[in-house]
């Protein structure tokens, strides 16, 4: 399917390129056509985003037009944006770069009315049976997102048998988020949809579209609320997790009315709050959820804390920070946010209570902090992060924020993983000629002790352990890919399960227990 689209767009591109070259400087119609041929399949026909971000003036405030030309010509590292320098001449690149700064013909809106109109509850909370329809440890299940054909698989984490495979929304991005009991999972798609899925009954139970171009979602530590972070519109949107009822839309702007995209939102259970980093405003927002002090009430088959739609608890606390945070990570106590801007030359550590910057981190080469992990090393806690544009893994002492070690790798990596019970950390080599390699780092010696090549020439990426830290899954990130089961100690391959471009894998136990070796 994707090959057909690729072939068609390549042919269209060739025709368009020939026409443009013959016609001289591009007119508005030419540029509109060129955009449709070259860009629309990822960025949307109306520039509202798709697999790629929305391309509207309000979303490009940090990108200068000359820089936009460079991105079109050379591509953007650590994203799916390819280089068009071979296909397009300078005039075409310039006209496309100008085009994306034009005001849209119709200003896109996605507010309360649109969100409410999109809301669908197929199985109201409490209406389906409470027993799993399968025989497996419900806390050791994996959800695997298969981006090739927009499906997800449910795997038994003990036998590694596939229990079920189901269709998802288009282009899921970011980790799906579980309720603390592991019964429900929430998926977020780049085009704004949130899907609530009942794992026990293997049914979609509710859906709502939170935005036009979404970053990610977070579920409160008590499982009662879902927060969505958007690129378009510039908003955070709060839902009641039970049926995805809309609770609040937060326009994201500073005190002068300048609005911002949201980089991402995370739940910080020890603080009982959502933490959102902003892309165009130098602020981090903290939005606390209420503690479940209300009496317990019966909701059909389940007993849960009484629901409150009173958002008095959900007031925004603004924390000024010295730079934009595109990417960020937290310590286990959620006392500090460790963040970096994509353009910056390093990272910084901000204390979330005082709002003070407590350290600078000398991390060049775009640290991918979002995929950082932590472990105990010689009696202190360290964190490690790969870099998106540098062949290195940085290991940082979290007690004084100094760099303990910089490990040289076979190329820039995207994802890191471990488990408290595992002696090893796994990091992929996502970019460049060695993207078929995965490094295994010993947590004690901080050295790479093994480099695996599961299948030469095929991208190997993203690991997730089972709940015990014994076995792990690695993706062969290809259309005709697979997840590979490894023994976590012997590093021997045990099994392959065919999948369509499997991306992230998410173990219920590790995610709901905020395991130190996985993403949160
Ligand atoms: Fe992601 C997680 C941002 C490109 C696959 N990515 C995240 C998160 C953020 C983020 C903020 C954490 C959200 C969460 O889990 O709740 N990603 C970005 C970018 O800014 C970037 C570089 C550019 C962009 O296109 O937005 C980017 N990401 C990609 C890809 O190109 C990937 C490889 C393929 C894809 O499907 O888009 C990709 N991102 C992922 C995956 C996760 C993710 C699989 C979840 C990892 C996890 O283990 O939790």
Backbone phi, psi, residue 83, to 5°: -85, 135
Query: The tokens of 306 are what?
Result: 């009484």
- Three-state DSSP class for 356? coil
Question: What is the pLDDT, as a whole number, of residue 3?
Answer: 35
Question: What is the pLDDT, as a whole number, of residue 293?
Answer: 66
Cβ atoms within 10 A of the Cβ of 365, count?
Answer: 18
Query: The tokens of 395 are what?
Result: 């290991």
Ligand 1 atom with the smallest distance to the CA of 80 is: 31
Nearest to 327 by CA among 316, 338, 318: 338
Q: In angstroms, rounded to a whole number, what is the distance separating the alpha carbons of residues 109 and 278? A: 20
CB 260 within 8 A of CB 253: yes
State whether the beta carbon of 147 lies less than 6 angstroms from ligand 1.
Answer: yes
State whether the beta carbon of 389 lies less than 6 angstroms from ligand 1.
Answer: no
Q: In angstroms, rounded to a whole number, what is the distance separating the alpha carbons of residues 430 and 79? A: 11
- Three-state DSSP class for 41? helix
CB 250 within 8 A of CB 72: no
Partners of 309 in the beta sheet?
A: none
Q: Please, which residues have CB within 8 angstroms of residue 487's CB and are 6 or more apart in sequence?
A: 470, 471, 494
Ligand 1 atom 7, closest CA: 174
Q: In angstroms, rounded to a whole number, what is the distance separating the alpha carbons of residues 311 and 290? A: 9
Q: What is the CA radius of gyration of the chain?
A: 23
Cβ atoms within 10 A of the Cβ of 149, count?
Answer: 14
Ligand 1 atom 2, closest CA: 174
Nearest to 276 by CA among 223, 227, 232: 227
Q: Please, which residues have CB within 8 angstroms of residue 18's CB and are 6 or more apart in sequence?
A: none
Token look-up 């991918």 returns 368
Mutate which of 51, 148, 174 for ligand 1 pocket (most atoms within 8 A of beta carbon)? 174
- Three-state DSSP class for 454? coil
Query: The tokens of 331 are what?
Result: 């310590």
Q: What is the pTM of this model?
A: 0.89
The CA–CA distances, whole Å, from 404 to 340, 373, 502 equal: 19, 15, 33
Query: The tokens of 54 are what?
Result: 């929305």
Ligand 1 atom with the smallest distance to the CA of 462 is: 48
- In 341-412, which ranges are E strands? 347-351, 357-361, 373-377, 380-386, 392-397, 403-408
Question: What is the pLDDT, as a whole number, of residue 311?
Answer: 52
CATH class as words, domain 413-503: mainly beta
Cα 359 to averaged position of ligand 1 atoms, centre (Å): 26
Q: In angstroms, rounded to a whole number, what is the distance separating the alpha carbons of residues 118 and 122? A: 13
- In this prediction the ipTM stands at 0.98
CATH class as words, domain 12-99: mainly alpha
State whether the beta carbon of 80 lies less than 6 angstroms from ligand 1.
Answer: yes
Query: The tokens of 74 are what?
Result: 């050379």
In tens digits, the chain (520 residues) has pLDDT values of: 333 333 333 333 344 344 444 444 467 888 989 989 999 999 988 898 888 888 988 888 878 888 899 999 999 877 789 999 999 999 999 999 998 989 888 888 999 999 999 999 999 999 999 999 999 999 999 999 999 999 999 999 999 999 999 999 998 999 999 999 999 999 999 999 999 999 999 999 999 999 999 999 999 999 999 999 999 999 999 999 999 999 999 999 999 999 999 999 999 999 999 999 999 999 999 999 998 764 443 333 333 444 444 456 899 999 999 889 988 999 999 999 999 887 767 889 999 999 999 999 988 888 899 889 999 999 999 999 999 989 999 999 999 999 999 999 999 999 999 999 999 999 999 999 999 999 999 999 999 999 999 999 999 999 999 999 999 999 999 999 999 999 999 999 999 999 999 999 999 999 999 999 998 8
- Residue ranges of domains in the chain: 12-99, 413-503
Partners of 265 in the beta sheet?
A: 276
Q: In angstroms, rounded to a whole number, what is the distance separating the alpha carbons of residues 229 and 237? A: 7
Question: What is the pLDDT, as a whole number, of residue 26?
Answer: 64
């Amino acid at each position: 399917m994707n090959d057909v689209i690729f072939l068609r767009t390549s042919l269209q591109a060739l025709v368009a390129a020939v026409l443009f070259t013959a016609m001289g400087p591009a007119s508005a119609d030419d540029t509109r056509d060129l955009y449709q041929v070259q860009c629309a399949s990822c960025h949307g026909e109306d520039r509202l985003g798709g697999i790629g971000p929305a391309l509207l003036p309000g979303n490009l405030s940090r990108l200068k037009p000359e820089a936009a030309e460079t991105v079109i010509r050379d591509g953007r590292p650590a994203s799916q944006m390819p280089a068009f320098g071979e296909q397009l001449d300078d005039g075409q690149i310039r006209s496309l770069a100008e085009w994306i700064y034009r005001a849209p013909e119709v200003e896109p809106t996605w507010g309360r009315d649109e969100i409410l109109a999109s809301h669908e509850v197929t199985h109201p909370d409490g209406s389906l049976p409470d027993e799993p329809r399968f025989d497996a440890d419900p806390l050791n299940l994996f959800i695997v997102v298969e981006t090739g054909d927009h499906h997800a698989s449910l795997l038994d984490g003990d036998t590694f048998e596939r229990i079920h495979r189901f269709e998802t929304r288009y282009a899921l991005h970011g980790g799906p988020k579980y309720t603390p009991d592991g019964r429900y999972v929430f998926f977020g798609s780049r085009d704004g949809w949130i899907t609530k899925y009942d794992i026990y009954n293997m049914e979609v139970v509710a859906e709502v579209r939170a935005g036009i171009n979404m970053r990610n979602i977070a579920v409160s530590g008590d499982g009662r609320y879902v927060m969505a972070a958007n690129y378009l519109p510039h908003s955070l949107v709060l839902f009641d997790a039970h049926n995805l009822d809309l609770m609040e839309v937060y326009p994201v702007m500073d005190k002068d009315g300048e609005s911002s995209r949201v980089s991402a939102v995370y739940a910080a259970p020890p603080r009982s709050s959502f933490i959102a980093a902003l892309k165009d405003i130098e602020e981090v927002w903290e939005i606390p959820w209420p503690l479940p002090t209300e009496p317990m009430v019966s909701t059909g088959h389940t007993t849960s804390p009484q629901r409150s739609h009173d958002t008095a608890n959900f007031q925004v606390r603004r924390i000024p920070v010295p730079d934009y945070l595109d990417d960020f990570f937290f310590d286990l106590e959620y006392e500090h946010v460790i963040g970096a801007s994509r353009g910056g030359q390093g990272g910084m550590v901000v204390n979330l209570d005082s709002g003070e910057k407590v350290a600078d981190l000398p991390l060049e080469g775009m640290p991918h902090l979002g995929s950082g992990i932590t472990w105990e090393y010689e009696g202190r806690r360290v964190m490690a992060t790969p870099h998106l544009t540098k062949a290195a893994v940085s290991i940082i002492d979290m007690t004084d924020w100094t760099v303990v070690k910089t490990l040289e790798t076979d190329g820039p990596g995207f994802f890191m993983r471990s488990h408290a019970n595992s002696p090893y950390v796994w990091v992929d080599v996502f970019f460049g000629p060695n993207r078929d390699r995965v490094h295994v780092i010993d947590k004690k010696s901080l050295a790479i002790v093994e480099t695996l090549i599961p299948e030469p020439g095929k991208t190997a990426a993203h690991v997730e352990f089972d709940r015990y830290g014994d076995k792990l899954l690695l993706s062969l990130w290809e259309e005709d890919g697979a997840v590979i089961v490894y023994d976590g100690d012997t590093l021997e391959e045990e099994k392959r399960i065919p999948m369509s471009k499997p991306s992230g894998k998410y173990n219920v136990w590790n995610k709901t227990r905020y395991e130190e070796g996985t993403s949160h």
